[in-house]
Structure 1
Amino acid sequence: MIDDKGRLFGIINIIDLVVLLLIVVVALGYFYRDRNADPAVTRTAEVKVICPYVRPEVAEQIKVGDQLVARGQVQPVKVTELRIETARDTDTRADGELILQKHPFRKDIYLTLEGPISNTGAELYLAGQQVRAGLDKFIVKTEIFEVQGEILEIKIKE
């Protein structure tokens, strides 16, 4: 089987054969590593966000049609609806009752964002950020505007 020069069947050196088999195993592992992984599914979504308690000068900076920015790039997510209202605040009366009143200065921004939403496993992502209703750390960032918002609603379009 192995001759006096260390060749298997007189054809290939045993060490060369081991190296060749190792290269083949690594190559097969590389090509088949993601074969069973679920690919990310991308659909269009409409996400409603509130950005509460924003200064009026900042609130004026966002417009319908603006696109979100993430990872240093403009994303295909657009502001499709925009509503700016006087912010609501609570105060306590002398008798301890809470009352809801308009804030004399601050604004609440209600936005509807539309764009591709992807899910990898059990999590949804919009413009590189994880999204779910109630998430209060969603950053609404355009080229000239950035505030933190809370996601109110997600509608996935089929």
Structure 2
Amino acid sequence: MKLIDDKGKIFGIINLIDLIVALLIILIIGGLVYKTQSGKNVAQLKEVYITVRVPNLLPDTAASLKPGDKLISGNYYTTDEIVDVKVSPALSVNTNSEGKMVLTTNPYRKDAIVLIKAHLDTSSPTVRMGQQDIRVGNQITVKTHFTVVQGEIIKVDVK
């Protein structure tokens, strides 16, 4: 039995041109289904401002956090960036001579408030920046080209 017979039919069953037309129609229908279904799952990125409190830093570490620095996730730069950094003397709780707890400042250590601008998908119940959940109270790693610090998210503002 020949692959294509004298009448141009494959295995004597279907014409070669008819097979090509049928495959083309199946591909077009499959492409349309894919396009209409995939559009429903497109992430809606919104501008999100994340305020992070980073306590008890060495002065040089605090100084290395600069507005404009791009954040890194894994080993790749992201579009997220630091937009503002406020550094102040670190707060600490100490016991005074009467045995009472008092809030004092550490003249050497620094606290930083870091404002991050990110473009994140806010359509799901868990908003994530890289592999980190973005929620007030969560610990977060702020990683730039030359600095990595741990802080706590104190505010999330979706624009």
- Cα deviation, residue 97, structure 1: 1.2
Q: Is the 8 A contact 1:92 1:98 kept in 2?
A: yes
Q: Is the 8 A contact 1:133 1:151 kept in 2?
A: yes
- Look up the equivalent residue of 1:108 and give its one-letter code: D
**Residue from 135, 139, 143 that aligns with 1:132:** 135
Give me the whole-angstrom Cα distance separating, in 1, the residues matched to 2:120 and 2:140: 14
Q: Which residue of 2 aligns with 1:64?
A: 67
Give me the whole-angstrom Cα distance separating, in 2, the residues matched to 1:121 and 1:60: 35
Aligned-residue identity in percent: 25
Any stretches of 5+ residues in structure 2 without a counterpart?
1-12, 14-29
Any stretches of 5+ residues in structure 1 without a counterpart?
1-10, 12-27
Higher helix proportion (structure 1 or 2): 2
Give me the whole-angstrom Cα distance separating, in 1, the residues matched to 2:46 and 2:123: 12
Q: Which residue of 2 aligns with 1:22?
A: none
TM-score normalised per structure 1: 0.72
- Look up the equivalent residue of 1:59 and give its one-letter code: A
Give me the whole-angstrom Cα distance separating, in 1, the residues matched to 2:97 and 2:105: 18
- Aligned positions of 1:75-114 closer than 5 A: 75-114=78-117
How well do the aligned residues superpose, as a CA RMSD in angstroms? 2.5
- Cα deviation, residue 96, structure 1: 2.3
- Cα deviation, residue 55, structure 1: 0.8
Residues 43-68 of structure 1 show CA distances to partners (whole Å, capped at 9, x for unaligned) of 11111111101111111111111010
Q: Which residue of 1 aligns with 2:156?
A: 154
Other structure's SS at 1:102 match: strand
